[in-house]
Structure 1
Amino acid sequence: MSTDRAQSGLDHDRRSFRYYRHAVERHWDPHEIDLEPDREAIADVPEPAFDGLRETLALFGAGEEAVTEDLSPLGVVLENAADQLFVTTQLYEEAKHADFFDRYWRTVIAPEEQRRDLEPSAPTDDRWFNAPYDELFERNETAMHRLLVEDTPENRALAYCHYHMAIEGILAQTGYYGVQRNFSGDFEELPRLPALVEGFSSIRSDEGRHVGFGMWKLKTLVRDEGVAPRLVTDTVGELAMLTQRIVGGATEEGASGVGEDELIGYAAEKHAQRMEQIVDASAEMPSVEELVSLDR
């Protein structure tokens, strides 16, 4: 380590350092969530809603495992120490999310399948994944790993567009919103699943920081690195179409709860909001507390 770097230390005012500290202070353990109430309550979930819940959890679980691996190139190419600190917390949090989904499936979903005399399934079964989902994550993997071959401002922008904007900022946030709405006691036809809601609340809060980091990086690339705003808007717009097809394909016909139109509308709203905050030079970036707040 050079003397200059040793003397300069970390920039505590840098947004990524504040996100890093926020992650440390908001630490949670997926194995401390009590799943027993859900093991009883899930028996009251109607068949179509149970099928939809299984599909949603499988999509989330596979997604968290994939993005945990795909984030690694970003940690390699980032130079700033505070940025690297934040990415380490994001990697750790993505791993925790994958752990939560795996534990919930083993502890709640699998026993309920057995009670209902359903054929045992795994969250990795091909039946849960549609073509748009596979395409989105393949595109994300390509965009992230391209950084190891050609690290340019444009390629960094594409990586943030895929990972932080499309997958986390639109697809994941929409899924969290739907599941929390469905199982928070808002619908008479659906039971409250407190462990699922608690886990999703913690995960969704983590993802808010991740999205904020990607938004900040994109705004900086556009403002200071010469990245064309059109590259960001066109890329995220194209990916948003994929997320809409994923959301629509994951909605079970006849299931109670939040409908497909509401979910697609929520995704479109998030997309428009994020783009304005990134490409409009006069638009303020949301604070970390705004990013992690669980709007309803």
Structure 2
Amino acid sequence: MAIDVSKASLRELGQLGGDAIIVGEIDDKLVNLPTYRELYQRWEKQQWSTQDIDFSADRQQWSQIEEAARPVHISGFVVFFQGEVSVTHTLIPYCAAAPKEEQRIFLTTQLVDEARHSIFFDRFFREALGFEGEDIEALLVQIRPLLRESERQILMEGLVEIGQRIQAQPEKLEHLVEGVTLYHIITEGTLALAGQRSMLNRNKRMGWYPGFQQGFNAIARDESRHVLFGVRFLRDMVQEDARYAGVIRDTIQKWMPQIHDILYLSDFQRALLSSFGEDPDELLRFGMSSLRKKLKVIGVPSDFLPAVA
């Protein structure tokens, strides 16, 4: 019997691969976008607790990985941990600047989600991977050297900078459109979703990290709401004023070098995926295909995007 992703428990979510949520709950839902109120209602029905996840099996599996190979294996975890913390502390200005009450209400639910995701990764790094530190920042200081420059530029610089501009001029909706494009469409809707799909499918195939698989699928389901909000908001803004299409296009073009670099992966990461029997180019193909789908629904031609073989 197929699992209903919209109602699935943590245990049921742990049985899924990435396509069930990344494709089934996001890309396939773009044809009939939910309203802001409907997205809020989904949030009420899809609550979960980081405290309900058992990482003991994950810890046992991690203990079997050779010390020298561990930095390679955790590189994907690192960027998601930093990403969740970055999006948590940069979202608040969006909540205040959103022009409609139902948009603001939904964004407050997203802020709660992002905080929960940060706590999930904090627990995973401590209880499964054996990291120690007095707080989340202490863990991040240890793992940030593993971030690539393009990841730093988006997560630790770009999101912060646009968040500051939104906060300084909340009435200037061009800033909010740019911010939602970078946050919801590029960071969450392209980079994170492509990486999540790859990692979740691999873990399911390999039988890796069952506790992580439960929580990461729950995170992906949360982010399906976030991404659909971003698509809905930008479509509404473009329909209200066509000039916002240019803001969206310019923002994506500005960050395209980093998008391509992150999705193309480093030579080391590409070799690792090949050793798992995966096509390292699939991440880029899926990410760019998903981005094109979102732009089509928003109402922005995607002919400016680079071709991907």
Same fold by TM-score greater than 0.5:
yes
Q: Greater CA deviation, 209-218 or 133-142? A: 133-142
Asked whether the 8 Å contact 1:233–1:275 carries over to 2, the reply is no
Query: Hey, what does 2:135 align to over in structure 1?
Result: none
Query: Hey, what does 2:208 align to over in structure 1?
Result: 192
Q: Is 1:127 paired with 2:145?
A: yes
* TM-score normalised by structure 1 residue count: 0.79
* Residues 8-54 of structure 1, C-alpha deviations (whole Å, 9 max, x = no match): xxxxxx81111111011100011101111212233455778743331
CA shift at 1:217, angstroms?
0.8
Q: How many residues of Structure 1 are paired with residues of Structure 2 in the alignment?
A: 257
Counterpart CA distance in 1 for 2:103 and 2:68 is 43
Asked whether the 8 Å contact 2:98–2:176 carries over to 1, the reply is no
Query: Hey, what does 2:198 align to over in structure 1?
Result: 178
Q: Is 1:235 paired with 2:254?
A: no
Query: Hey, what does 1:9 align to over in structure 2?
Result: none
Q: Is 1:224 paired with 2:244?
A: no
- When residues 79 and 275 of structure 1 are mapped into structure 2, their CA distance, relative to the original with a 3 A threshold, is closer
Q: Which has the larger radius of gyration?
A: 1
Query: Hey, what does 1:159 align to over in structure 2?
Result: 179
Matched residue SS, 2:269: coil
* Residues 178-214 of structure 1, C-alpha deviations (whole Å, 9 max, x = no match): 2112211x24xxx422111111100011111101111
Counterpart CA distance in 1 for 2:292 and 2:245 is 14
CA shift at 1:128, angstroms?
1.2
Which AA in structure 2 matches 1:213? Answer: F
Counterpart CA distance in 2 for 1:262 and 1:50 is 24
Query: Hey, what does 1:252 align to over in structure 2?
Result: 269
- When residues 267 and 34 of structure 1 are mapped into structure 2, their CA distance, relative to the original with a 3 A threshold, is same
Counterpart CA distance in 2 for 1:225 and 1:167 is 24
Task: State how 1:69-108 maps to structure 2 within 5 Å.
Answer: 69-108=89-128
Asked whether the 8 Å contact 2:97–2:176 carries over to 1, the reply is no
Counterpart CA distance in 1 for 2:233 and 2:49 is 28
CA shift at 1:251, angstroms?
5.4
Which of 256, 267, 271 does residue 287 from structure 2 map onto? 267
Counterpart CA distance in 1 for 2:259 and 2:101 is 33
Q: Is 1:58 paired with 2:78?
A: yes
By relative contact order (CA 8 Å, sep 6+), the higher-ranking structure is 2
Which AA in structure 2 matches 1:142? Answer: E
Asked whether the 8 Å contact 1:74–1:144 carries over to 2, the reply is yes
Query: Hey, what does 1:29 align to over in structure 2?
Result: 49
Query: Hey, what does 2:160 align to over in structure 1?
Result: 141
Counterpart CA distance in 2 for 1:143 and 1:160 is 10
Q: Is 1:205 paired with 2:221?
A: yes
Asked whether the 8 Å contact 2:50–2:119 carries over to 1, the reply is yes
Counterpart CA distance in 1 for 2:128 and 2:114 is 21
Matched residue SS, 2:128: helix
Asked whether the 8 Å contact 1:244–1:267 carries over to 2, the reply is no
Superposition RMSD in Å = 2.6
* Residues 50-97 of structure 1, C-alpha deviations (whole Å, 9 max, x = no match): 433312111111111111110000111224322222111100000000
- When residues 143 and 197 of structure 1 are mapped into structure 2, their CA distance, relative to the original with a 3 A threshold, is same
Counterpart CA distance in 2 for 1:241 and 1:215 is 22
Counterpart CA distance in 1 for 2:257 and 2:250 is 11
* Residues 149-191 of structure 1, C-alpha deviations (whole Å, 9 max, x = no match): 233232221011111011100111112112112211x24xxx4
Unaligned runs of 5+ in 1: 1-13, 114-120, 282-296
Q: Greater CA deviation, 228-237 or 141-150? A: 228-237
